[in-house]
Copies of this chain bind each other. A is one copy, B any other.
Amino acid sequence: MLSVNEAIDSLLNGARRLVENEEIDLISALGRALSEDIIASMDVPPADNSAMDGYAFRHGDWRGAQSELPVSQRITAGSVPQPLEPGTAARIFTGAQVPDGADTVVMQEHCEASSDAVRILSLPVLSANIRPRAQDITAGQKILSAGHRMRGQDMGLLASQGIGKIPVYRRLKVAILSTGDELREPGQELQDGQIYNSNRFTMHGQLTAWGFDVVDMGVARDDPEAIRDLFARAAASADVIVSSGGVSVGEEDHVKDVVESLGSIDLWKIAIRPGKPFAFGQVNGTPFLGLPGNPVSVFVTLLIIGRPYLFCCQGIADTAIHPVQHTACLDQRGSAREVYIRVRLAEEGLVPFSSQSSGVLLSTSWSDGLVRQPLDQDIKQGDQVEFLPWPVLN
């Protein structure tokens, strides 16, 4: 059996970015992967500005709480100040540019103002209440790296640089398909011996959450010709193919032979629970990931094994998961497989779902994430364990 890390490394060794660049409007950048480093072209803020409503003046001009400074100009946010006349103050508002010649801003609450002059009752320290030019960003600095996935704050960051269009990789096209005569679609009537195709929806939803362009190929009957046709069409329509339904060597499993006839396939046994059977290959040159068939196994292997590979194909730089620590409220002996336990985040810590069977998809909806139990390592009540909240897997 391959360890989980060996499986991921094997996949990543053969992986490369499969998508070209395109340019999009910043406003629609959410979730997209940058295709270039972004270098700041300007300082942010572009000039010293006032953090308060008050008066800008030269610190050395202060002559005591009784002495007045004439108010020589009024500077609102967005207006262009004149250089400050020596021995005067400027009325200034939050966000407004500090005039040349001023080095300090005093809050209006610490002043007594008449119509054309101001008394500064309490002298602030030199350079108080000024947000200095380049406090946030210095021109020439790298602010985001190629392969970064855009979030709300990153959109704000690039906007602050005046960047209205950004270079990204086009969305990775991921074809999904299932095989099996027993599968029916929601809305259809169920006959004896049949089940509804949940894996299609789990995969569709999760891949969409990752920002991929899902190409939904539907289901092939358990028939070599039908399977061959579906795989060939999937390979022609997408950058990567993901299937559910354990690819095995049973006499009713035609996927292996079909994929072999169109390309190549390796059947792996990965030391993961839920999971274990996993296929990797290519169909007419298009990479193919064959996930297991059980509902929870599909979901967990997609998150743990599939995600780093697909992220790499998309050009995302950080393909690793970043677990946090949390307290286990469970006891479980270690095993020869890496175990992913569905847990809920409770007041006292991480509580497992009552059934950890790979058929019980309810366990994934009930829970807030996964505890990773390393090979051969026991988990005891109160242990700090690796916790992967669902959102962190997105």
Contacts and interface: CB of A to CB of B under 8 A. Distances in A.
Contacts of A382: none
Interface stretch (A64-72, A233-241, A372-380, A384-392): A384-392
A360 interface: yes
Contacts of A391: 389, 391-392, 394
A202 B360 CA distance: 39
Q: Which 8 A-B pairs have the closest CB atoms?
A: A156-B202, A78-B182, A152-B205, A78-B181, A164-B187, A152-B206, A391-B391, A164-B186
Contacts of A190: 42, 46, 162
A299 interface: yes
B45 A191 contact: no
Interface in A184-199: 184-188, 190-199
Contacts of A110: none
Contacts of A103: none
Interface stretch (A7-15, A89-97, A280-288): A89-97
A21 interface: no
Interface of A: 26-27, 29-31, 42, 44-47, 49, 53, 75-81, 93-97, 131, 135-137, 143-144, 150-165, 180-188, 190-209, 216, 222, 246, 248, 250-252, 293, 295, 298-299, 322, 324-327, 345, 355, 357, 359-362, 364-365, 368, 387, 389-392, 394
B195 A45 contact: yes
B156 A199 contact: yes
Nearest to A205: B152
A182 B324 contact: no
Nearest to A200: B159
Contact of A156 (B30, B193, B295): B295
Contact of A365 (B42, B135, B154, B197): B154
Given A196-B159, A394-B391, A361 B252 contact: no
A195 B355 contact: no
Given A94-B293, A360-B136, A151 B205 contact: yes
Contact of A182 (B96, B193, B365): B96
Contacts of A209: 30-31, 151-152
Contacts of A180: 77-78, 95
13 contacts: A53-B248, A75-B193, A93-B251, A96-B182, A136-B295, A152-B209, A154-B365, A156-B205, A157-B198, A157-B365, A159-B198, A159-B201, A160-B198
B181 A76 contact: yes
A151 B161 CA distance: 34
Contacts of A144: 365
Of A79, A152, A204, most B-chain CB atoms within 10 Å: A152
A393 to B, nearest CB: 8
Contacts of A94: 246, 248, 250, 293
